[in-house]
Amino acid sequence: MGKITPVACCFNIAYRMESELKPELKEKVSNIFQDFLIRVTKLEELAGIGSRLLNGYQQALEFLRQPPIDETSQLIKNIIKANETRRVKSYIEAGCINVHDSIQNTNKLHTCLLGLHNHLSQRYTLLNELENLLEDSSGAIQTAKWMFTTFEE
């Protein structure tokens, strides 16, 4: 038999409370459950945001890690020679890196990194709030159990 979680127990108690428990406890459990669902939804939204930030970070990093053109190939040498201008020559000497693109991708890395730090902070806050809600639901369950045993006696 599986372990009954506080949330599953909360559902069971909420169902039985309709006629047996005080309205204050009923409202408390309902509010805890609503708050729990809101925070779980926020956590799911943060997962999508985190995925986009991580993807942006990875793309910017991959751009900066691109290897220069391999000039050992005769075909590449012929293409470079056929199109050799001062601009192409300086581009190749710079390791085939466009400075403007590098600056943009470095800025993108920084922005994504800041976003990821903020994202982690928000996730930790939400997880702490969920933990507190579980403790609140556990307290409500204990109160309900005590009330049920009082009713049954």
Q: How confident is the model at residue 118 (pLDDT cuts 50, 70, 90)?
A: very high
CA 151/CA 7 separation, integer angstroms? 23
Query: What tokens were used for 74?
Result: 């005769």
- For the segment 13-65, what is each residue's pLDDT rounded down to a tens digit? 555 544 555 777 778 888 888 998 999 999 999 999 999 999 999 999 988 88
pLDDT digit string, tens, across residues 61-114: 988 887 777 777 888 888 888 888 888 888 777 777 777 888 999 999 999 999
Quote the mean pLDDT of the chain: 81
Q: Distance (Å, rounded) from C-alpha 63 to C-alpha 41?
A: 34
pTM of this structure: 0.62
**Residues 63-76: tens digit of each pLDDT:** 888 777 777 788 88
**DSSP-derived secondary structure letter, 96:** S
What sign has the CA pseudo-torsion 2, 3, 4, 6? negative
Share of the chain above pLDDT 70, in %: 81
Identify the pLDDT of residue 99: 79
